[in-house]
Structure 1
Amino acid sequence: MLSLDGDEAAYRRLLGALRHLLVGYYSRRIGAATRADMEDLVQETLMALHARRMTYDLRRSFTAWFFSIARYKLVDHHRGRGGRAMMETELEDDLEGGFREEALTARMDVERLLGALPKAQQDLIRQVRLEGQSIALAADRTGLSESAVKVSIHRAIKALGEKLRGGT
């Protein structure tokens, strides 16, 4: 893992991808908490990862190790707010909902691929293809026409396909 070998750019890319995963992970689990609470939780988790990065065993799955840190931070968050019942419900949801390493690894792969696209195309792919929002809603949020959103998504998917086939 380049980020553990001191490659600062790789480490920044890793933290960016993990930050995005954490926002999605925590936003589904902390419900009515404020955005500031969620951001604090994300930052605490990334700092914990940074502090513990040298304890990571390269023979183990990174995503399992990372999300165990995230779960501990979530438990601490709920404990601090007296949310034991919610914490237990969320843990059951994780176990029953297929919280699997394969899904997490796939999500990280998708994030890495999206990172090669311009920010606007990344956002559109996330909104429409990953989150299931309508073209009309994405157009409204971005100020683009529906046709422009469709074209941008089509071009982004074409570029991702080319990248996967080994093109530039």
Structure 2
Amino acid sequence: MQASEAQLRHWMTAGLDGDAASHEALLRALVPLLGAFYRRRMRDAQDDVEDLVQETLISVHGKRATYDRDRPFTAWLYSIARYRLIDHFRRRRLSVSIEDVETILIVEGFEDAASARMDVDALLSTLSPKQARAIHDTHVDGLSISEAAAGAGIGESDVKVSVHRGLKALAARIRGERT
């Protein structure tokens, strides 16, 4: 049986207040949650799921003092899990197609939608406004090329070029390359 947000938050705050048994219960409850989180995102690398779960548990333990008791616990947890996943991809130099980025960042269950939106918005803010809008319109809002072009008042080929160049720049940034 999965623990609820309220139960996880209780164990976290009790652990922060010095209750070792609550901290242990929290870490045990997180194993299946994190396992499911990573299995959904790592279809081609299932062997790495257990390692990612362990790395995330270590991060949760090490970063527990940064938890804000006024915020949902799971939002904090899944932001740590996303960063562990990004670090994993960087270490492995795995490339992820733009179609899979949405799957990786998708908000499931009780993950924090605002956090995922901020991650996407932060990435897009590193691009020119034209490229950011083209990518947002076509890949986030799901508009067709012609709809995005009409909305921006530019040609369809301009939208295609902006999306292509923007995605190329984002991929380079994610790989740590200078653009």
- TM-score interval, normalised by the smaller of the two chains: 0.5 to 0.7
Give the corresponding residue for 2:64.
Answer: 53
Does residue 113 of structure 2 align to residue 101 of structure 1? no
Give the corresponding residue for 1:3.
Answer: 15
1:75-131 Cα shifts (integer Å, max 9, x gaps): 111111222325x54441255x5435379xxxxxxxxxxxxxxxxxxxxxxxxxxxx
Give the corresponding residue for 1:26.
Answer: 38
Give the corresponding residue for 2:28.
Answer: 16
Give the corresponding residue for 1:70.
Answer: 81
1:42-85 Cα shifts (integer Å, max 9, x gaps): 11111011111001110111100110000000011111122232
Between the aligned partners of 1:73 and 1:54, the Cα distance in structure 2 is 18
Change (3 A) 1:82 1:102: closer
Q: Over alpha carbons, which structure has the higher Rg?
A: 2
Q: Measure how far apart 1:25 and its partner are.
A: 0.8
Structure 1: which 4+ aligned runs deviate by more than 3 Å?
88-91
Change (3 A) 1:73 1:89: farther
Q: Calculate the TM-score normalised by the size of structure 2.
A: 0.50
Please list every run of 5 or more consecutive structure 2 residues that lacks an aligned counterpart in the other structure: 1-12, 113-179
Q: Could you tell me which of 83, 88, 92 is aligned with 2:102?
A: 92
Change (3 A) 1:89 1:7: farther
Q: Could you tell me which of 83, 86, 109 is aligned with 2:94?
A: 83
Between the aligned partners of 1:90 and 1:65, the Cα distance in structure 2 is 23
Change (3 A) 1:98 1:44: closer
User: Percent of aligned pairs with the same residue?
Assistant: 47
Change (3 A) 1:90 1:25: farther
Between the aligned partners of 1:102 and 1:28, the Cα distance in structure 2 is 14
Give the corresponding residue for 2:50.
Answer: 39
Change (3 A) 1:11 1:89: farther
Taking only aligned residues, the RMSD between alpha carbons, in angstroms, comes to: 2.4
Between the aligned partners of 2:111 and 2:82, the Cα distance in structure 1 is 17
Q: Specify the code of the residue in structure 1 equivalent to 2:110.
A: E
Between the aligned partners of 2:111 and 2:76, the Cα distance in structure 1 is 13
Change (3 A) 1:81 1:102: closer
